[in-house]
Amino acid sequence: MKKILLFLLIMIIAVPAFAKDPKETVEYWKNNPNNQNERDIEMKKCWNSLRTHFKVPVGSKQWNICCAIRASRNHPLTGREQTFEEVYEEMKKAKEKYGNE
């Protein structure tokens, strides 16, 4: 019983420490239409000069923000919505193809 209580206590403390920042979620960017200026500022940090891929490190907090923003809007070529995971993989492949800038 003590082990279970200890485990629950650790989980209560540890889980919030690993929770995503709200800016790293697609919902944050979809549900805040008045944050266009913030979105533009964040996306300027994301793109390489030719806008072929994200220049920030793959898997970083900024990378997650970039993917969330991109997923919150329709794809520029297909016009369809993408999931966070689809954007993540697409940008990762593009970065591998075009290299770092």
Residue 76 is classified by DSSP as T
At position 97, the amino acid (one-letter code) is K
pTM of the model: 0.74
**Which residue type does 7 have?**
F
Cβ pair 48, 101 in contact under 8 A: yes
Structure-block tokens of residue 70 = 């991109």
62-95 pLDDT per residue, tens? 999 999 999 998 777 777 888 999 999 999 999 9
How many Cβ atoms are within 10 Å of 53's Cβ, its own excluded?
23
The percentage of residues in the chain with a pLDDT greater than 70, rounded to a whole number, is 81
| pLDDT value for 73 | 86
What count of residues does the chain have?
101
pLDDT in tens, 87-97: 999 999 999 99
